[in-house]
Structure 1
Amino acid sequence: MTLFKGEDAVKNIDDFFNEFIDSNCEELGPVRGRVRQEKAYQIKMKAADNHLRTSRSEPTCNDDEQRFANKIGSYTKGLPHNKYGEVDTPAYDALIKALNSGLPRDFESIPLGSELKLTNPQAAYAYNLVGPDSHQIAIPAPPSIRSTWHASEMAELYWRALTRDIPFNDYNRSKLIHEASKDLTKFSNFKGPKTSLHVTPKTIFRGDTKSDLTGPLISQFLLLDIPYGNNTLKQRYRTTIKGDDHLTEYKSWLNVQNGHKPTKKNKCDRRYRYIRSARDLAEWVHRDFSFQAFLNACLILLKYGDEAIDSNNPYLNSKTQGGFITFGAAHILDMVTRAARSALESSWYQKWLVHRRLRPEEYGGLVHNYLVGHTLAPIHEELLESKALQYTEETFGTYLLPVAYAEGCPTHPAYPAGHACIAGAGITMLKAFFNEDFVIPEPVIPSPDGLSLNSYKQSPLTIGGELNKLASNIALGRDAAGVHWRTDGTEGIKLGEQVALNILKDYKETFNEQFSHFKITKYNGTTVTI
C-alpha cells in the first residue's frame, strides 16, 4: 500500500528522516553557551554598578515656584486661568500632587482648562536599561524671572520675533538687526556670544561655541543634499509666509493658555525653500521628528568615505574586513537614534519633576498685564527699558510675545528644551564615530530668497564645528519660534551630551574588535576620552 504520492511523498519522507537527524552542531567562538550568558550578564552588571557608584548631584532650583504664591514664575499652560492669565491654584496644586505621587490616577484628576492635554508627564518616571538613569544628571537652575539674566533672554526673544523675516545673509545690512545688537549689548547679564563685549550682527542669535561664529549661521547639515537609500533629498522645506505671527491678540493668547485650540492656523508659503531666515528655521523645528537632523547628518557624513571616519575605528586599517553592525553605518545610525529617547527622558525629568519653568509666551502675558496696569509683577527694569518692547507694541498693539506657531508652545515646561537634549546626544554620537577635523568639501550658503544654494568659499568648515552649529540651530531654532529660552537650549545640549557619553561608556566593553577608545570634543571645547 502506498502511503504518499507525488510531491507529498517527497515532503513527508523528508520530514520522516529529519526526525532521526541530530540537530546539534559545533558552535564556534572563544566564548560559548552558558559561559557566553555569564559574560553578557557580567557586562550588564558592570555597567549598572558603574552607574550606581557614580555620585548623583542634587538638583537645584531658582525658587520661583516657592517665591510666587500665584505661580507666575512656573509653567501652567493647559490649566485653568483667570482673566489676567494667572493659574487656578487648586488646579496647580493637583498637578504638583500628581507629580509628587507618580500615581496614574492622580494625573487623571488634574483639572484642565479645556481640551488641550499635558504632554506625557509620566515619562519623567521611566527607567532605561542603557545609559544613565534619567534622574542621575543634574543641570544648573534656570534664571529667576526677576533677574537681569532672565530679562536679557526675554529681550532677545522679542528681537527674534521682530527680525524673524530678515534673511541671515542680510543681517549686516539690516538697520533693525544693528539696533537689536546694540540693545542686547546694554543688558548687564546677557549670555549670548559677543565680540569685544558687544553683540554684533555677526554674533546675534548664534550659539555658544567658537564654530557657531564661523561661516554661515545655518549648519551645512541643514543645507547639503542627503543620500537617502537610492534617492537624494534636497533640503528645501515647507515654511510659512512673512509676518505669520501668532498669540499677539490678548483674547486668543488667554484662550490658548487655558487649553483651547487656536482659532487660526499657520499660513504656508507656496514654495519650498532652503533655510534662509529665522522663520524658516523655526518652522523646520516645528515639523521635524525627534532625531531627524542627526539622522540626516549621519547620512551626509557616511558619503564622505574613510577620510571622514574617526581614526580610532578598528576597521580603517584592516586588510580583510569592513565595519557594518559594529563600527559601520548600521552601528552609527543606531547609536544616533538610540540616544534620542534617553535624552528626552532626562529632559522630561528636569521639566516636570525639578524646574517647571514657564514658557516665554506665558511670561509675555505677565509683561503685557504689568505694562497695561492690570497686575503687579517683578519685571526687571532692564527689560522695561528695551526698545524691543516699544517696537512690539507699535507693531502688534500688545506687549505679548509674537510666536511663530499658531498653537504657541507645547504643553510641557520649558527647561531644558527637548530638542536641545536630543541635539546634544545626537552630535556627541556622531563625534564619537567621525573625524571632527575633516573639512567639509564644497560648502554652501542659501540665497536670500532660499530658492537656491551658492558656494561658500571663505572659512573652512569642519565636521566637529558644523555639528556644534547643528546642535545650536536645532536648540535655538525653538527660540526663534518664541517657544523656548536661550538657556533651555544651551543647557539642554549639555544634558544630552552627558547622556550620550554615558551610553558610550556602557557600550565600550561590548566590542570584540581591538578598539582603544572614543575621543570626543565636548560642546564646551574640552576633550573627553572613553
Structure 2
Amino acid sequence: MKNERPERPTRPERPERPERPERPGRPERPDCQELGPENKKQRQQSSRTIRRQAAQIAFNRGIKDHVCNGEEQEYRGADGSPNYIANFSKGLPHNELGEVDPKAYKALLKALESGKPQDFDAIPLGKGRPLTNPQAGLGFDLQGPDGHAITISPAPRIDSPLNSGEAAEVYWMALLRDINFTDFNQSPEVAEAIADLSQFSDFQGPKVGGKITPETLFRGNYAGDLVGPYISQFLLKDIPYGSLTISQRQETVVSDINYMTEYDEWLNVQNGGKSGQDKFDPQRRYIRNIRDIGQYVHVDALYEAYLNACLILLGLNAPEDEGNPYKNSKNQIGFGTFGGPHVLSLVTEVATRALKAVWFQKWYVHRRLRPEAFGGLIHNHLTGRAKYPIDQEILNSSALEKVHNLYGTYLLPMAFPEGSPTHPAYGAGHATVAGACVTILKAWFDESSVITQPVVPNADGTELVAYTGADAGKLTVGGELNKVAANISLGRDGAGVHWRTDYTESVKLGEQIAIGLLQEQSLTYNEDNFFTLTKFDGTKVKISRHEVKHLMNDSEND
C-alpha cells in the first residue's frame, strides 16, 4: 500500500496590515485608465455590432442550389436497381467486377442523409481502409461563407465527351510521367499525346489558336499558366524561413514504377486492401516532371505551397496591394495588421474553411468516382466482362492501346501504391485549398509585380539554372500564383487521382471562400484599407468596408 502524503497544514491567516499613513505633500495616485476612442462599454457594444454585421453579410449572400449529374439515380443493373457504377465507392465491399455492394452504398447514403455519427459508424467496409472524414462536410464556420452556401457545377458524366477528354488526359499523364517538362518540345511521346487529345470533341485543356501544343499540354486554364516554365517559381526558389533558408529539392520517387496495373491488385485496393510502399530516390531533386510533382502532392500539407509562396514574396520584399494602409506611410509599418504576421496567418487560415466547403460537395452532392475506378470500368468493358454506358471517344484513344501493350490491362497506371484517397473526386481538396490560399495572396500583394531571375531545374533536377525563354521577363506575381495552384491541382491528376474539372471548378470554390472571409474581416480593422484582386475568370474585385456595406442591408437594426 502506498504511503499517503500527509495533508499540508493550513497556513495561519496573516493579520491585517495597518493602513499606511499618507505622506505629507504627496497626492493620491489616480487609477490608471486605458486610452482609446471608446470606453469599455462602447467597445463591448461595437464588438457585438461587428459580429452581427459579419453574420448578416454571410446570411445575405444566400445559399445556392446543389445539383448532381444524375448518374447515381440513372444507372442500373440487370435487376433494375441502381448499381452506382459511376459513383465513388472506394473502401466499401465490391464484387469481382469492382462494382460496389448496393447494401453498403445505401448505408453510406443513409449516413449522409441523417448526419448521425452512429450511422457513419455503421457503414460496412471492404478490407478495412477507413473513409476519409465524411462528417467534415456538415461542419460550420464562424467566418466566411457557410460551406453549404456556395456550389460548383454538376460533375461530368461517364457517358459524356467531356469525361472522355479528361480520362484521356490522365492516361497520357500516366504514360508521360518521367519526361521532363523542359523536354516536351522534343519528345515523340508528347507529340503522340497531343495528336490523340486533339481528336477529342470536348477536351478542355488550354490551347493556343485552338490547338494543343507542347507549351500548353497539361497546363492550367487561367491567366499566367502558359507564361514561362511549367513549374511555378514558388515551387523552385529557396524559401526564407526565419533564420533558415530551405531548398526546394524534394524527396521524390524512382522512375518507371507504376501501381495498380494488374487486375487483382486493382480490385484489392478498391476494396480497401493493403497496398505496396513508395520506392524513394536517394537523391533529392527539384521538380522536373509529372512524377516529381505527383510525389510532392502525395505528402504535402495542403497549404504548404502557398505558405512557402508567401514567405518567398516577403523575402523578395514584393510590393503590397495598393490598398495596404502602410504601403506609403511615413511613420508606421504593419505587423499584427497588414504586416507579415497577418498575411502568414491569413494564408493558412482559409485552408480548413475551404476543406469543409469542398467536403460537402464531395460527399453530400456529387460523389464522383476516381479515375482509377473509371479505369476499371474501361478494362471490364473493353475485355467483354461487362457493358457500361461509357462515351465512345475514350474507347478509341491510342493511350489505352499503349497502356495495354505495356501492362496487359486497360487499367490506369497509378503513381501512388494506395491509389486515390478514400473520399470522392469532385471537388478536389488540394484545388479548393489552392484557390482559397492564392486568392489571399493575390489580394495582399501587387499581382502585376514581376518576379525577376526566373529559374528551372537542370536535366537531372539537382540544380537550378536560369530560365532564358523569350517570356522570362513576363512572370508576374499573379500569374505565378495561378500557376502554383494549377501545378498542385494538376499534379494530383498526373498521379491518377483527380480529373481536370476537379481542378478548374474547385479553385473557384476556394476563391469564394477567401473573398467572403476578406469581406467579413474588412469590418474589423481600424485602418482605412482595401484589397484588390483578379479572380480566376479575369474579373477584378475590390474589398473594403465601403464595398461590403451593400451586403449588410439592415443588419444593424436586427
Which bracket does the TM-score occupy, shorter chain normalised? over 0.9
Partner of 1:474, secondary structure, is helix
Change (3 A) 1:25 1:186: same
Q: Name the amino acid aligned to 1:413.
A: P
The match for 1:28 is: 35
Uncovered stretches (5+) of structure 2, i.e. residues with no partner: 1-13, 23-27, 76-81, 544-558
Q: Which amino acid aligns with 2:333?
A: G
Residue 162 of structure 1 pairs with residue 175 of structure 2 = yes
* Structure 1 vs Structure 2 CA RMSD: 1.8
Are 2:69 and 1:57 aligned?
no
Rg larger for: 2
Q: Which residue of 2 aligns with 1:6?
A: none
Tell me how far apart the structure 1 counterparts of residues 120 and 377 of structure 2 sit (CA, whole Å).
27
- Residue matched to 1:303: 315
Residue 177 of structure 2 contacts residue 289 of structure 2 at CA under 8 Å; is this kept in 1? yes
Deviation track 1:294-343 (CA, whole Å, cap 9, x = no partner) reads 000000000122x5211221111112111000000111011100000000
Greater Cα shift, 447-456 or 421-430? 447-456
Aligned to 2:143: 130
Q: Which runs of structure 2 are paired with 1:32-431 in the superposition (5 Å)? A: 32-68=39-75, 69-262=82-275, 264-305=276-317, 307-431=318-442
- Post-superposition Cα deviations, 1:123-149, rounded to whole Å, max 9, x if no partner, equal 010000010100000110111011000
What is the TM-score normalised by the length of structure 2?
0.90
User: Which residue of 487, 494, 498 maps to 2:501?
Assistant: 487
| Residue 455 of structure 1, CA deviation | 0.6
Counterpart residue number, 2:457: 446
Q: 2:479 aligns with which of 465, 472, 484?
A: 465
| 1:20-42 deviation digits (Å, cap 9, x = unpaired) | 99995201100231211111111
Q: Distance in 2 between matches of 1:244 and 1:228?
A: 34
Q: Work out the CA distance in 2 between the residues paired with 1:490 and 1:370.
A: 29
Q: CA deviation at 1:195?
A: 1.5
1:10-25 superposed matches below 5 A: 25=32
CA distance in 2, matches of 1:51, 1:511: 18
For the 8 Å contact 1:246–1:406, the answer to whether it is kept is yes
| CA contact 2:94–2:271 (8 Å) conserved in 1 | yes
For the residue of structure 1 that corresponds to 2:257, the secondary structure is coil
Equivalence for 1:7: none
Q: Does the CA-based 8 Å contact 1:343-1:422 persist in structure 2? A: yes
**Alignment TM-score, normalising by the size of structure 1:** 0.95
Quote how far apart the aligned CAs of 1:55 are: 2.7
* Partner Cα separation in structure 1 for residue 319 and residue 327 of structure 2: 11
Whether the 8 Å CA contact 1:182–1:200 is kept in 2: the answer is no
Q: Is the 8 A contact 1:206 1:213 kept in 2?
A: yes
Q: What is the alpha-carbon distance in structure 1 between the residues aligned to residue 454 and residue 31 of structure 2?
A: 57
Task: Indicate conservation of the 8 Å contact 1:185/1:197, yes or no.
Answer: no
SS of the counterpart of 1:212? Answer: coil
CA deviation digits over 1:369-425, x for unaligned, max 9?
Answer: 111111111122111111000000001111000010000000000001000000000
- Aligned 8 A contact 2:322 2:531 in 1: no
Counterpart amino acid of residue 303 in structure 1 = G
Question: For 1:26 and 1:421, how far apart are their aligned partners in 2?
Answer: 47
SS at match of 1:454: strand
User: CA 1:514–1:188 in structure 2 vs 1: closer, same or farther (change >3 Å)?
Assistant: same
**Within 2, Cα distance between the matches of 1:399 and 1:252?**
13
Q: Is the 8 A contact 1:347 1:417 kept in 2?
A: yes
Instruction: Give the C-alpha shift of residue 497 in structure 1.
Output: 0.5
Amino acid of the residue matched to residue 69 of structure 2? Answer: N
Does the 8 Å CA contact 2:250/2:287 hold for their aligned counterparts? yes
**Could you say which residue in structure 2 is the equivalent of 1:5?**
none
SS in 2 for 1:408: coil
Matched length = 515
| Amino acid across the alignment from 1:270 | P
- 8 Å Cα contact 1:244-1:266 kept in structure 2: no
**CA distances 1:188-215 after superposition (whole Å, capped 9, x unpaired):** 0001101222211111100001311110
Task: Rate the CA distance shift 1:203–1:23 in 2: closer, same or farther, 3 A.
Answer: farther
Identity between Structure 1 and Structure 2 (%): 51
> Is the partner of 2:245 in helix, strand or coil?
strand
Tell me the distance in 2 between the aligned counterparts of 1:221 and 1:245: 28
Mind listing any 5+ residue stretches in structure 1 that lack a counterpart?
1-11
Q: Report the CA distance between 1:17 and its aligned residue.
A: 9.0
Cα distance in 2 for residues equivalent to 1:237 and 1:510: 40
User: What SS is found at the alignment partner of 2:150?
Assistant: coil
1:504 aligns with 2:512: no
Which residue of structure 1 lines up, in the alignment, with residue 8 of structure 2? none
CA deviations over 1:243-266 (Å, ceiling 9, x no partner)? 12101111011011001111x211
488, 492, 502: which one aligns with 1:478: 492
Deviations 1:65-100 (A, max 9, x none): 111111011000000000000000000000000000
Supply the distance in 2 between the matched residues of 1:452 and 1:434 (Cα, whole angstroms). 29
Following TM superposition, the consecutive aligned residue runs of length 4 or more in structure 1 with deviations greater than 6 angstroms are 15-18, 20-23
The one-letter code of the counterpart of 1:26 is Q
Q: Is the 8 A contact 2:223 2:536 kept in 1?
A: no
Q: Please tell me the residue identity of whatever aligns with 2:287.
A: I
**CA distance in structure 1 between the partners assigned to 2:187 and 2:19 by the alignment:** 84
